[in-house]
Amino acid sequence: MDEAKLRSLVAKLTVADKARLLTGADFWSLPPMSQIGLRSLVFSDGPNGVRGTVWDERDTSLLLPVASALAATWDRAAARTVGELFGDEARRRGVHVVLAPTVNVHRSPFGGRHFENFSEDPLLIAEVGAEVVAGIQSRGVAATPKHYVANDSETERLSYDAVIDEQTLREVYLKPFERIIAKSSPWALMAAYNSVNGHTMTENSLLVNDILKGEWGWDGVLVSDWLATRSLRAAALGGLDLAMPGPKSPWSGGKLAEAVEQGEVPEEVLDDKVLRVLRLAARVGAFEDPVVEGGPPEQARPVIRSLAAQGFVLLRNEVVDSAPMLPIDPKVAKLAVIGDSAMVPAVQGGGSSHVSPPHVITPLEGLRAALPEADVVYQRGVRHRRLLDVVPRAEIFDPAGEGDGIRVEYLDGAGQVLSSELRGTERLVWLGGLPSGTKSLRLRGNLVAEVGEHVFGVNGTGHFRVEVSGREVLAADVTSVDGIDDPLGDMVEPPEQRFDVVLVESDLDGTGRAALTVEFTPQSLDMLVAVGIGHRTQEWDDASQLAAALAVARESDVAVVVVGTNDEVESEGRDRTSLDLPGAQNELVRRVAAVNPRTVVVVNAASPVVMPWVGEVPAVLWTWFGSQEYGDALADVLLGLVEPGGRLPTTFPAELADVPVPLPAVQPVDGELHYSEGSLIGYRAYADRGVRPAFHFGHGLGYTTWDYVEAVADGDVVRVKLCNTGDRPGREVVQVYAVEPFRLAGFAVVAAEAGAEVSVVVDVEPGGEFVVGRSAGDLRISATGTS
Ligand code: BGC
């Protein structure tokens, strides 16, 4: 549809309709405008997949590796593939606008949404982000790079004012957006919650009207982050196009129309916003009949598995008994697999990026499947989550007899059941609120249990009443954890109330099950309701679990210890407060390594952690939050079927004290967050100070070795010749850095057979001297011919 046609459609709408189009009809969609043939535009999160409009474990979506893992591939083709998968998923789920990718900056490793962002380097962010955008949009679905701009940490995220000098803002924080717009023209963009230099981003005329829409000539739709619109006029004049979600916003209920009628907001301003929305609608086919595409997501499984492996970063691989520790010999007779994360891995971070995957292959499952002949023994070691474990679904049954799971009843104000459904045992989340008329919930299930002591936990904010086999065991108000002032607070850091229950013979029915009833009246019914039930049979005893882990490690040929963070630690809505692995995992690693010299540490975390034991173990593989196929991808890499392809997209500190932007620098003071480090973040700061990190930006080993033979700069390219000097095929990420100032200038991926020499052409911005190498700290050769 051409511009003239779009303009004629704008002209057909009344001021009231035009204004109505600019706020959601509900949480995820815009009102349809049948008079111009426009269907309702549907939005969905988010950067690891496409959740759709409900948060429900029965409504599954493909779960891909998190953004940092994708950036670790340094591979434009991989990023394009991810975008295409998102686009296909969106089409399958009737979504027109995907709220991804997240292209803020790894300013500090403490940032809670670090996992959801690509890198500390603006060029790498932009290159990966542009391909994700292009991939999504190649399927006729809009991408929405977010959050414009400087939403790089979470503390007071709704209100902080990022104070940034212009050069830093342009070179570091605006650059990913600018470059993505230039390369892939995203059809939408999301305005952040925070302010920049005194103006909140939904009202920031300088950064939106002047730079984004003026200087860069961008013609897409600027949608607010959810609930980020605070004003009528300032937001309308500041360049915001859509105030989400609905149905209530500062523009809704006729308020924006009235402001236009009264001349407070010029009608041309309104028309420009509507034109942008109609342009987007035309681009995503919302004027045409809906085409629901089935698309069997099963076919994506091997693709996701290989993407995950491609992002795994081999941090260390020392020689043990005359051969590198990894890969593990597939003929290994006895393998110990140790760690909470081997059985309950983190495959995504906390917050709105969550999707409900069709399945998750755990490391333990992946290794067992890959080693059918071996004796694979498992010990959990130490726990690291704050909340109690959820009850395994196979151990709780519907009282109404429909099978395993928990019966959820939606109750009105009088306690009458409005509807009921059978759900899984994970925490239940309703983003956008409960079904209409619902005032409270009742969760019921018959739990397979033994006589004796049990610990239960309920999490959520509101009033709980719990019965076990007809006995009341808890009646309490549970309130939010201090310090969380966030629309997603209940999901991000739910308070948990634990209570002990002694089950006696008469509590169990003839099949050995106890009837559990949890009544929950949420404190707030507005934006989000979340509730969960946890359980364990006795107090967890780390000491005896650790001893059991050491016993299996000692008697195995190889010990694989899977440690990591989780979605409680890495989450939207809160920054991290420590870079340590949670719980006693450092001790677990050290003790296992001390009893078995053939110990491989697999880290299942998406943001840097300090690894004080790193010199004491022969191999460390960094695996991020690794998607629904995580365990299979891990087995592929550990057993050498696939090379670990990743390179760090962010610097890993050796010590807390070395972090260039430490914790206090992400905590606003009097509402202000000063980016006083300027552009000296990540590797730029380490290089500037001459501090050695634990692992450099760009670092990652493979299963082969490389010799850099020659590099020649020629205008806007650097031609690099290199040789695979190992004895197996390999893939290398060739990195070109400008010398002054020290910056990543370009990169390219190349593959070669054992012993083969290859050449690769790397695009760079011309000028100055270049050095070429394997990481910011492993520069092999200077490019000749540089001016
Ligand atoms: C997040 C956005 C997300 C939106 C909708 C906000 O809290 O910051 O990234 O797209 O919620 O879920």
Question: For residue 431, how far is its CA from the centre of ligand 1 (angstroms)?
Answer: 10
Q: Residue 678, preceding bond cis, omega within 30 degrees?
A: no
Which residue's C-alpha comes closest to atom 7 of ligand 1?
226
Q: Which amino acid residue places its CA nearest to atom 11 of ligand 1?
A: 226
Closest CA relative to residue 343, chosen from 385, 372, 375, 405: 385
**pLDDT in the model for residue 410:** 98
- Dihedrals φ, ψ of 313, to 5°? -110, 120
Q: What are phi and psi of 771, to 5 degrees?
A: -120, 150
Contact 173, 149 (CB under 8 A): yes
- Average pLDDT on 86-115 reads 97
Per-residue pLDDT band for 46 (boundaries 50, 70, 90) equals: confident
Q: How much of the chain exceeds pLDDT 90, in percent? A: 93
| 361 CA from centroid of ligand 1 (Å) | 27
Q: How far is the CA of 514 from the centre of ligand 1 (A)?
A: 39
Strand partners, 339: none
Q: Strands 199-200, 730-738: parallel, antiparallel or unpaired by DSSP?
A: unpaired
Q: Do β-strands 188-191 and 161-163 pair in parallel, antiparallel, or remain unpaired?
A: unpaired
Q: Tell whether the model's pLDDT for residue 468 goes beyond 70.
A: yes
Stronger pLDDT, 493 or 9, i.e. the higher one: 9
Residues with CB under 6 A from ligand 1: 45-46, 99, 146, 225-226, 352, 488
* Tokens linked to 636: 């592929």
CB–CB of 462/470 below 8 Å? no
Q: Is the pLDDT of residue 537 over 80?
A: no
The per-residue pLDDT for 526 is: 78
Provide the pLDDT for residue 295.
Answer: 56
Exposed / middle / buried, residue 34 (Cβ in 10 Å: 0-12, 13-18, 19+)? exposed
Residue 332 near residue 94, CB atoms below 8 Å:
no
296 C-alpha to center of ligand 1: Å?
28
Residue 91 phi/psi, 5-degree rounding, is -60, -45
Phi, psi at residue 226, to the nearest 5°? -65, 115
Alpha helices (H) along 155-266: 166-168, 175-184, 205, 233-238, 255-261
State which amino acid sits at residue 430: W
Q: Token pair of 186, please?
A: 């995203």
Cα distance between residue 63 and residue 74, in whole Å:
20
CA of residue 588 relative to chain centroid, distance: 27
DSSP letter at 26 equals S
Q: What's the 168 CA to ligand 1 centre distance in angstroms?
A: 25
pLDDT at 294 (0 to 100):
65
Q: Select which of 45, 75, 225, 575 is catalytic.
A: 225
For a substitution probing ligand 1, which of 26, 29, 53, 99 has the most ligand atoms within 8 Å of its CB? 99
pLDDT beyond 90 at 646: yes
Write down the pLDDT at residue 542.
82
Contact assessment for residue 631 and residue 361, using Cβ atoms and an 8 Å cutoff: yes
Supply the pLDDT for residue 575.
Answer: 96
pLDDT-derived band at 493, boundaries 50, 70, 90: confident
Query: What is the rounded distance in angstroms from the CA atom of residue 583 to the CA atom of residue 382?
Result: 7
Q: Which two tokens stand for residue 523?
A: 């404190």
Report, as an integer, the average pLDDT of 678-684: 98
Distance CA 651, CA 318 (A): 21
Q: What pLDDT score was predicted for residue 171?
A: 97
Spatial distance between the Cα atoms of 186 and 83, rounded to a whole number of angstroms: 12
The answer to whether 225 is a known catalytic residue is yes
Question: In the structure encoding, which two tokens stand for residue 71, read together?
Answer: 């950036």
Helix H or strand E encompassing 501: strand 496-503
Mean pLDDT of 527-554: 89
- Three-state SS sequence of 543-595: HHHHHHHHHHHHCCCEEEEEEECCCCCCECCECCCCCCCCCCHHHHHHHHHHH
**Inter-residue contact 719 to 711 (CB < 8 Å):** yes
pLDDT tens, residue by residue, 336-393: 999 999 999 999 999 999 999 999 999 999 999 999 999 999 999 999 999 999 999 9
| pLDDT at position 211 | 98
Task: Measure the CA angle with vertex 313, ends 307 and 319; round to 5°.
Answer: 130
Q: What is the pLDDT of residues 103-162, one digit of tens each?
A: 999 999 999 999 999 999 999 999 999 999 999 999 999 999 999 999 999 999 999 999
Amino acid symbol at 192: A
Judge whether 702 and 731 are in contact, CB under 8 Å. Answer: yes
CA distance 684 to 681: 6
Alpha helix positions (H), 284-373: 301-311, 340-343, 363-370
Best residue among 55, 102, 147, 226 to mutate for probing ligand 1, ranked by most atoms within 8 Å of CB: 226
Q: What residues pair up with 336 in beta bridges, in sequence order? A: 377, 559
pLDDT confidence of residue 298: 85
- pLDDT score for 709: 97
- Average pLDDT value for residue range 610-617: 98
Q: What is the pLDDT of residue 786?
A: 65
d(CA 706, CA 432): 52
- Letter for the amino acid at 30? L
How much is the pLDDT for 489?
78
pLDDT at 139: 96
Query: Which atom of ligand 1 is found nearest the CA of 245?
Result: 5
Cα 352 to middle of ligand 1, angstroms: 6
What Rg, from alpha-carbon coordinates, does the chain have? 27
Residue 481: pLDDT over 70: no
Contacts of 607 by beta carbon, 8 Å cutoff, 6+ apart: 68, 109, 111, 114, 115, 565, 570, 576
**Please, are residues 363 and 338 in contact by the beta-carbon 8 Å criterion?**
no
Residue 6 vs residues 1, 273, 277, 278, 490: alpha-carbon distances, Å: 7, 12, 10, 7, 42
pLDDT of residue 490: 77
| Site of tokens 């795994």 | 312
* Residue ranges of E strands in 274-416: 313-317, 319-320, 323-324, 334-338, 375-379, 396-397, 406-411
Closest-CA residue to 741 (of 773, 764, 770, 712): 770
Mutate which of 45, 103, 431, 526 for ligand 1? The one with the most ligand atoms within 8 Å of its CB, which is 45
Q: Which atom of ligand 1 is nearest to the CA of 116?
A: 9
Q: So what's the pLDDT on residue 228?
A: 97
Q: Are 620 and 609 in contact (CB under 8 A)?
A: no
Taking CA atoms only, the protein residue closest to ligand 1 atom 8 is 225
Mean pLDDT estimate for the chain: 96
Q: How far is CA 112 from CA 26, 50, 383, 389, in A?
A: 28, 21, 21, 23
**Model confidence at 787: pLDDT above 60:** no
Q: In which band, very low, low, confident or very high, does the pLDDT at 432 lie, cut at 50, 70 and 90?
A: confident
**Residues near 552 by beta carbon (within 8 Å), at least 6 away in sequence:** 336, 338, 377, 378, 379, 559
Residue nearest to atom 5 of ligand 1 (CA): 226
Query: pLDDT, tens digit, for every residue of 225-249?
Result: 999 999 999 999 999 999 999 999 9
Which structure tokens are listed for 159? 């209100």
